[in-house]
Chain A
Amino acid sequence: MADTATAPTGDVRPAKNVIYCGVCTLPPEYCEFGGTTKKCEEWLESHHPDLHDEIYSPDAAAAALSTLSVDAQKRAEKDAQKKAAKAVAQEARESEKRATSRITIKRVERNKRKYVTEISGLEHFGIDLKKTAKEFGKKFATGSSVTKTASGGEEVTVQGDVSEDVVEWLSENHGEVPEENVECVEDKKKKGGGA
């Protein structure tokens, strides 16, 4: 007869493959606590319809609410609504930021005939600064680094006047940055000593 008490080291099962929601990265059953419930539900329906039926079926919802007292239910609803509202507000803010934020390419004089190109505003578009700096350095065979600006933001500093090439590179590699958002500025300030 099979032993009901499994020895501590005897249990070998293959790893359980858990599906995570594409929207909130949590296991689908926890989507309701993430603040993006509607989107999560839609995603689940299109990608894993069987799971969707299991989790979002009317019985599941009834079972979930039945164990909570009436007060707790109301609070849970309020919380879920607040979270959803927060998530929506955050998204709106982010998309606004993207629309108005620009990538500023400044050409700053270093010595009488030497320039330094500063590119700021890349973080808003999710561009990795370090990788970008390295690429520029390689591409233009010149020094390039990531520095902090006075206002707290970060920018990529490239030695030499490469502002035109940067614009080209941006439209090639990062098509998501619309042309209007890229600004070329010529700064006449003297930056002490260069990058």
Chain B
Amino acid sequence: MFKKEFTPGAKSKVKSSAQRAVRAKVLETYPLLEPHIDEILPKKEQLDLVKIPDRVSLYCNGTTPLFFQHMDDAILPHLKVVHKYPWAFTKVRVDRGAIRFVMSGATLMVPGLTSPGGRLAGDEGVEEEYGNAGKELEVGDVVVVNAEGKDSACLVGVLKMGSAEMREKKKGIAIENGHFAGDGLWKLDLS
């Protein structure tokens, strides 16, 4: 979604009612963020809304980007937030070969997750952080993508295919239009 670099649009204050709505939505999508929600989205502080090209709204606290939303789709965390609280998000892992494609903004394809080196929820013998408590991932779930051999996340996006389907078909698009490390949104300067 942010392959090109861009400059931020207008910055406007968010009404407290809207701020509460954003908070609620974030907690709904990411329940594990609850103990940290006050650090990320303090009640007392003014949340700002920055408009960016492509109908995307970015919520930020001062100069720190927090969450963004394309039109009325799911609300996604900025990767910097993901780096701070990695345990709060559902994770999958791609194998090493896919890393360079992810870092240049390509669509993430299923083989990146099903090949050896990739980790998907519900796999047998998978480590706890990718296990998602044994539950399968569904279409439309927001998922954070880590890379094999790396500590921090490289991509966050919405799943286009459920994990069961992925294991069955082993082909197709897994995540489209996500936010990856080094993209326009990552490089965005909000000062």
- A80: chain B residues at CB < 8 Å are 100
- A34: chain B residues at CB < 8 Å are 103, 182
- How many A-B residue contacts, CB cutoff 8 Å? 74
Cα distance A7–B178 in the bound complex, in angstroms: 29
Please give the distance in Å from B145's CB to the nearest CB on chain A: 12
Main secondary structure of the interface of A (DSSP, over half): loop
Are A33 and B97 in contact (CB-based, < 8 A)? no
Are A27 and B103 in contact (CB-based, < 8 A)? no
Cα distance A34–B183 in the bound complex, in angstroms: 11
Tell me whether A173 is interfacial, beta carbon within 8 Å: no
Of the candidate stretches B13-21, B29-37, B54-62, B168-176, the one touching chain A is B29-37
Tell me whether B154 is interfacial, beta carbon within 8 Å: yes
Tell me whether A87 is interfacial, beta carbon within 8 Å: no
Are B84 and A15 in contact (CB-based, < 8 A)? yes
- A188: chain B residues at CB < 8 Å are none
Cβ < 8 Å to B, chain A residues 46-71:
63-64, 67-68
- A63: chain B residues at CB < 8 Å are 149
- A67: chain B residues at CB < 8 Å are 95-97, 117, 148-149
Nearest to B27 among chain A residues (CB) is A9
Tell me whether B83 is interfacial, beta carbon within 8 Å: yes
Are A24 and B182 in contact (CB-based, < 8 A)? yes
- B97: chain A residues at CB < 8 Å are 67-68, 72, 76
Are B152 and A29 in contact (CB-based, < 8 A)? yes
- A18: chain B residues at CB < 8 Å are 80, 83-84, 152
Tell me whether B39 is interfacial, beta carbon within 8 Å: yes
Interface size on A, residues (CB 8 A): 26
Please give the distance in Å from A84's CB to the nearest CB on chain B: 13
Tell me whether A16 is interfacial, beta carbon within 8 Å: yes
Are A27 and B83 in contact (CB-based, < 8 A)? yes
Cα distance A25–B5 in the bound complex, in angstroms: 14
Given contacts A8-B32, A68-B96, A79-B100, contact A30 B86 (CB under 8 A): no
Nearest to B33 among chain A residues (CB) is A9
Cα distance A27–B186 in the bound complex, in angstroms: 12
Cα distance A26–B181 in the bound complex, in angstroms: 7
Tell me whether B85 is interfacial, beta carbon within 8 Å: yes
Are B96 and A64 in contact (CB-based, < 8 A)? yes
Cα distance A25–B186 in the bound complex, in angstroms: 9
Which residues of B does A touch, CB under 8 Å?
31-32, 34-36, 39, 80, 83-88, 95-97, 99-100, 103-104, 117, 133, 147-152, 154, 181-182, 186-187
Could you name 26 residue pairs across A and B whose Cβ atoms are closer than 8 Å? A5-B133, A8-B32, A9-B31, A9-B32, A9-B34, A11-B87, A16-B86, A18-B80, A18-B83, A18-B152, A25-B182, A25-B187, A26-B186, A27-B151, A29-B149, A29-B150, A29-B151, A30-B99, A30-B103, A30-B154, A30-B181, A30-B182, A33-B103, A33-B182, A34-B182, A67-B96
Q: Which 9 A-B pairs have the closest CB atoms?
A: A33-B103, A18-B83, A12-B35, A15-B84, A27-B152, A29-B150, A9-B34, A67-B96, A72-B97
